[in-house]
A and B are shown apart, each in its own frame.
Chain A
């Protein structure tokens, strides 16, 4: 089940998508050499050159071997079929659904993103905040992260995190508990379950929100992949909140990436006696914004004044351009300032609650509806 709010509006040719599916298999995330070639020659030619090892830039002979070895046996058409079967898709630069803020990564921009879940990636990412932190967090950290996740969901903001143990899981769970949408950005294929203990959580995220990864199906996580994944978390969102992090935590690398990309960097303080908050405190001393609740986060990432309209990169979609499920949800919404809860709309529109929730978030990003507690209403 694919979203029809943005997909279908403008998509890249199928040959290009096939080429990018192949590239996602042979190019490691964050490979700037391949990224430069991609900018210069386009996806089809780059895929050909890398898989055949010809016309590579000077000094890439050894690396070229690696590309060639990976290209052997790669079957992008089968990958796309399998993704479709799993309810996933490959979103590429040039698609209407591509989150253009990722272009800030320059040559390190992902060749494409495998997306599992029914909502529009671009629209959800417009109103999103990343929340990251220690895997082995304290009770305090888990509590704060879950609380912030739920409050952000109440304000109809999307919580983005990495699906790991600790703070990541607490943030996801908080958002899910408050009937919000959350995006998990993985360092493995979107069909893989890592960490193993999170199979239920990841499945829930895929239903209610989105699981995304630049790695192809079946790819396993490695340490460099985690670090490269962090750049996507930082680039996709308007800001990054670090809840609990020791001095050498991976969460701080996400914060640094966010700062390099001119995104907002925020930190939640903890006890000064705790080693697990020392990294956050250092971040705050070097210019991060101190936040203690979701209202403060929204105030920072939402822009001056109202945080309603996604003016920065929002696609212009007049109301009569909306069709499909989104239109059914929009028409199910009663007029007036009270609005209706998700369950009511699901009954009225004849759609599953998860799908209604996703459509509502998309419409929210387009500035047509807004959330008010458990209710949604027309703007």
Chain B
């Protein structure tokens, strides 16, 4: 028998494609070729696999060896095919039983010494395997927990090729000698997985967050906006001078978002797995992620990209969580405009020469900006020297279609001395607000039960207007502003959405005049004489 095949997975963004790894062994001059659009890292698998096999105490077949990766037209990249190639070679050389690996799916990179090293994207790969009907996978030991998240899948975690060969040939594997020196060292096998510096922080549910809303003095308006944003999935824009606490507020938004549903958790974990952001040992991301890229960030880092086939960018890493753009006018205009597609459709399509990719990107956008380049504009007695042209140009960078999709615009003012001093007065904690948000979300979900939407922020305007009628007179203020040309038709839809969320938070059946006025104030960014929502 000079032929064997097994399975592995190629990743296209966060979608896996099951690949059959075939191996053919023929008499002839010793050679080793890989066909099926391998990239550089995959071509180098030849040297890694040969060394690993030899160093695992096996004999390398000195014949003409061809590895085919099928479907041959899908571009394949990365080092995750090493394990499958090694096993297929050994099965073709009759060292392993071809039948033992035919229904198996193998993922993992091989070190030259035969150790199995983890790779990125194990979860989406195993999800694809499950979809294709596989029920057994072999993955590196470090990522076994991640693979186990897929229901109904039998996962074998392996540490070395030698161990795998022993298991497959029915022998009892020799107990791995733990290297006492290695225990002391950090596990460098995980080092290649992380992409440092993209500003993502995800928090698992059991991990305590030291950032609490109770830390923030005053800022009732901004707190209320955070709460409404979290409850309805509305995008939010904070405008205010430096030092007002915009970043502090933003960092506390993920804490009041409800925990992810099992389905959402899998989606988020898959993206983070591809990006190499999963912490070892706690694979499932259960809490909303938070991504705060710096304003010098490039387009590929925001929407996803890179050479060859793209990696998820900040918009996808913030999927089901918060994307915070601090100093938003400082971002390149192209980057800001690129956010419009994901804001509208909840996903981002990135095209490259090698093919185009669809990545999930349903995030809650949080923008923060100073009012002018120096940040002191319109503040009494602070001596802002920016000219009107500078101010309007600075603010104009954010205007138009992007801001049109932002429902809540809040002026954040610096905290007064009085508010700082009376800190002991009970400011609400994250837990209290999160409970209200969760209740409001459940209320909205119950109302939207028979629809494809789950939060008020997602409901299209005409549905909102026609499906759920408002009490007579509730919209009076908004209609008045429309007549005067102060509010566009799209603006009215946004106001309506926020009004529903406000009503959900208050536990009402529908928005009344006060809720609409609150929404108007939050949409236009200035006060209409509503009392502050003091706790």
Interface residues in chain A, defined as those with a beta carbon under 8 Å from any beta carbon in chain B: 134-136, 138-140, 143, 146-147, 150-151, 165-166, 173-174, 176-178, 272-276, 278
**A136–B388 contact, CB under 8 A?**
yes
Answer whether residue B196 sits at the interface, using C-beta atoms and an 8 A cutoff. no
**Chain B residues touching A, majority SS:** loop
Q: Check A275/B380 contact, CB under 8 A, given A146-B485, A150-B483, A173-B485.
A: yes
For residue B409, which residue of chain A has the nearest CB?
A139
Encode contact with A along B396-417: 1 for CB under 8 Å, 0 otherwise. 0000000000000100010000
**A143–B524 contact, CB under 8 A?**
yes
B379 touches which of A147, A174, A275 (Cβ 8 Å): A275
* Minimum distance in angstroms from B534 CB to a CB of chain A: 19
How many angstroms from the CA of A140 to the CA of B409 in the assembled complex?
12
**A150–B380 contact, CB under 8 A?**
no
* Minimum distance in angstroms from A316 CB to a CB of chain B: 36
**B484–A151 contact, CB under 8 A?**
yes
User: Can you give 24 A-B contacts (C-beta < 8 A)?
Assistant: A135-B392, A136-B372, A136-B391, A136-B392, A138-B526, A146-B484, A146-B485, A146-B486, A147-B481, A147-B486, A150-B484, A150-B485, A151-B484, A165-B392, A166-B392, A174-B484, A174-B485, A178-B484, A272-B380, A273-B380, A275-B378, A275-B379, A275-B380, A278-B380
In the bound complex, residues from chain B placing their C-beta under 8 Å from that of A140 are: 526
**A135–B388 contact, CB under 8 A?**
yes
In the bound complex, residues from chain A placing their C-beta under 8 Å from that of B485 are: 146, 150, 173-174, 176-178
Interface residues in chain B, defined as those with a beta carbon under 8 Å from any beta carbon in chain A: 372, 377-382, 384, 388-389, 391-392, 409, 413, 481, 483-486, 524-526
* Minimum distance in angstroms from A371 CB to a CB of chain B: 15
* Minimum distance in angstroms from A331 CB to a CB of chain B: 30
Residue among A134, A140, A275 with the highest chain B CB neighbour number at 10 A: A275
In the bound complex, residues from chain B placing their C-beta under 8 Å from that of A177 are: 484-485
**Top 4 A-B pairs, shortest CB-CB distance:** A177-B485, A150-B484, A136-B388, A136-B391
How many angstroms from the CA of A117 to the CA of B485 in the assembled complex?
23
How many angstroms from the CA of A151 to the CA of B384 in the assembled complex?
33
**A134–B388 contact, CB under 8 A?**
yes
For residue B380, which residue of chain A has the nearest CB?
A275
* Minimum distance in angstroms from A276 CB to a CB of chain B: 5
* Minimum distance in angstroms from A168 CB to a CB of chain B: 11
**B524–A138 contact, CB under 8 A?**
no
**A139–B524 contact, CB under 8 A?**
yes
In the bound complex, residues from chain B placing their C-beta under 8 Å from that of A139 are: 409, 524-526
In the bound complex, residues from chain A placing their C-beta under 8 Å from that of B413 are: 273
**A147–B380 contact, CB under 8 A?**
no
**A275–B484 contact, CB under 8 A?**
no
How many angstroms from the CA of A271 to the CA of B209 in the assembled complex?
37
Q: Check A143/B526 contact, CB under 8 A, given A135-B388, A136-B392, A165-B392.
A: yes
In the bound complex, residues from chain B placing their C-beta under 8 Å from that of A276 are: 378
* Minimum distance in angstroms from B263 CB to a CB of chain A: 39
In the bound complex, residues from chain B placing their C-beta under 8 Å from that of A178 are: 483-485
In the bound complex, residues from chain A placing their C-beta under 8 Å from that of B483 are: 150, 178
For residue B526, which residue of chain A has the nearest CB?
A140
In the bound complex, residues from chain B placing their C-beta under 8 Å from that of A278 are: 380
**B381–A275 contact, CB under 8 A?**
yes
For residue B371, which residue of chain A has the nearest CB?
A138
In the bound complex, residues from chain A placing their C-beta under 8 Å from that of B378 are: 138, 274-276
How many angstroms from the CA of A174 to the CA of B485 in the assembled complex?
6
For residue B525, which residue of chain A has the nearest CB?
A139
In the bound complex, residues from chain B placing their C-beta under 8 Å from that of A135 are: 388-389, 392
In the bound complex, residues from chain B placing their C-beta under 8 Å from that of A138 are: 378, 526
* Minimum distance in angstroms from B271 CB to a CB of chain A: 36
In the bound complex, residues from chain B placing their C-beta under 8 Å from that of A146 are: 484-486
* Minimum distance in angstroms from B109 CB to a CB of chain A: 55
How many angstroms from the CA of A178 to the CA of B482 in the assembled complex?
10
* Minimum distance in angstroms from B238 CB to a CB of chain A: 14
**B484–A147 contact, CB under 8 A?**
yes
How many angstroms from the CA of A165 to the CA of B486 in the assembled complex?
16
* Minimum distance in angstroms from B277 CB to a CB of chain A: 38
How many angstroms from the CA of A275 to the CA of B380 in the assembled complex?
4
* Minimum distance in angstroms from A139 CB to a CB of chain B: 4
In the bound complex, residues from chain B placing their C-beta under 8 Å from that of A274 are: 378-380
How many angstroms from the CA of A166 to the CA of B391 in the assembled complex?
11
In the bound complex, residues from chain B placing their C-beta under 8 Å from that of A134 are: 388
**A166–B380 contact, CB under 8 A?**
no
Residue among B389, B392, B481 with the highest chain A CB neighbour number at 10 A: B392
How many angstroms from the CA of A138 to the CA of B484 in the assembled complex?
18
A165 touches which of B381, B388, B525 (Cβ 8 Å): B388
* Minimum distance in angstroms from A252 CB to a CB of chain B: 14
In the bound complex, residues from chain A placing their C-beta under 8 Å from that of B388 are: 134-136, 165-166
For residue B383, which residue of chain A has the nearest CB?
A275
In the bound complex, residues from chain B placing their C-beta under 8 Å from that of A174 are: 484-486
For residue A164, which residue of chain B has the nearest CB?
B388
How many angstroms from the CA of A273 to the CA of B377 in the assembled complex?
12
In the bound complex, residues from chain B placing their C-beta under 8 Å from that of A272 are: 380
* Minimum distance in angstroms from B323 CB to a CB of chain A: 24
* Minimum distance in angstroms from B88 CB to a CB of chain A: 65
* Minimum distance in angstroms from A146 CB to a CB of chain B: 5
How many angstroms from the CA of A178 to the CA of B382 in the assembled complex?
38
* Minimum distance in angstroms from A247 CB to a CB of chain B: 10
In the bound complex, residues from chain B placing their C-beta under 8 Å from that of A173 are: 485
In the bound complex, residues from chain B placing their C-beta under 8 Å from that of A143 are: 486, 524, 526
How many angstroms from the CA of A273 to the CA of B409 in the assembled complex?
19
How many angstroms from the CA of A140 to the CA of B378 in the assembled complex?
12
How many angstroms from the CA of A278 to the CA of B384 in the assembled complex?
14
